[in-house]
Amino acid sequence: MIKWFDIHQNIALDGQGNIKMAINVDAVKTSIFQILHTRRGSRIMHPTFGSDIHGMVFDKITPDLGRMIANEIKTDVEMWDPRVSITNIGVISDPDTHQTVAEINFTINGYDESFLQSVPLN
């Protein structure tokens, strides 16, 4: 079985003083988080990497805007992480807390199960 590693999205230390690593499914979840939290154009050596959802989430979330955000998430994640196939995305906005969260259901190539990743978008 292939083993994937990535720096954990919370950038914390493990019990031995090393940077905590995300492994396999957690590495893929970290990848999704990083894709969506990187503004396209912000990486000098890789200007097309990331997502353009950041400007959308500060508008009032209507059903049409929710679909646009979901489509952008699906396109960006599947483009930048070929291990992932998105099966469903729910965009949930709470106007009282001014928070928008994407609930992303996905599968990983080579795994028989589906996974859920909640990603705060603002």
For residue 47, the domain's CATH number is 3.10.450.40
Q: What is the pTM of this model?
A: 0.80
Query: What per-residue confidence (pLDDT) applies to 83?
Result: 86
pLDDT tens profile 66-78: 899 999 999 999 9
Distance of CA 41 to the CA centre of its chain: 17
Could you give the number of structural domains in the chain? 1
Quote the domain boundaries for residue 100.
5-120
**Confidence at residue 23, expressed as pLDDT on a 0 to 100 scale:** 53
Length of the chain equals 122
Closest CA to 67 of 38, 93, 90, 39: 90
Q: Which residue is it, tokens 């729910």? A: 90
Q: pLDDT tens for residues 21-38?
A: 555 777 888 889 989 999
